[in-house]
Amino acid sequence: MRYRLTFVAGLALGYVLGTRAGREQYEKLKKAARDAAQNPAVRNTAESAAQQTRQYAGKALHSVGEKVGDRVPASVAGRVRSLREQREQRGAGAMEDDDWGTSNT
């Protein structure tokens, strides 16, 4: 999916840069992109993907931490410990704003 989106974005960029249709076509394309970005279905899909990514990252953090153990530098181990403590303080099911600037809607 990521490669498909990259291809479509490259195709759109190539069209914008290479078109001879002029400013009118550029403005139409820009408006279509803005409308798509503001579409509630697109926004909800993006939020769900971000939420799933956060969940998978949390699981990965836990499993990597268990497997790696004491074989990492103290600074990394301290950061992992602080992330775990923050997660435990929030609770497993708590949904709050995160450090990435996304909302949990």
The pTM score is 0.41
What does the pLDDT look like over 35-82, one tens digit per residue? 988 889 888 998 899 999 988 888 887 787 777 766 777 787 788 788
Asked if 73 and 79 count as a contact pair (C-beta separation under 8 A), the reply is no
What does the pLDDT look like over 61-70, one tens digit per residue? 778 777 776 6
